[in-house]
Amino acid sequence: MLRSVALGAGLVVLSSSATVLVAAQMYRMAPAATAPALAALYLLKVLVLGWVLLAVGAPGWLASRAFAVTVLAGLVLSTALFALLVRHVTAGMTDRPEPALSGADGGANRPLGGIPQIREATGGPHHHESETS
């Protein structure tokens, strides 16, 4: 039974670690490619685990109930840890005050989320030139 628990915990740790490492590395290198990379990693994990289950099969010593309980408990624990990690990493992003926008309108035309508007050199965000003039 101890080997079954160790195998279940090891699989969860290996899978979760791969997810964290790929997410962190991809976010540093190419943030827009993070979600597709995680989707590809998920597909790879499903294919490898499926191949192991179908081609290799379970070893004779595997205590299936202990293995399943360990995997489920590990997944719940890793999900809780990931939630704390994400909260810690993003805390600095959400606690920042929005920059004050100055101007004639006193910031009344500030876009949602505090994202500054792009102002063109021709007169601001509301200036539109006709292409037919």
Type of residue numbered 21: L
Kindly give the interhelix angle for 34-51 and 2-29, rounded to the nearest 10 degrees. 150
Q: Per residue in 56-82, pLDDT tens?
A: 888 889 999 999 999 999 999 999 998
Three-state SS at 132: coil
Q: Band of the pLDDT at 117, cuts 50, 70, 90?
A: low
d(CA 16, CA 2): 21
Contact partners, residue 25, CB within 8 Å, separation at least 6: none
Lowest-pLDDT range of 30-34, 38-42, 108-112: 108-112
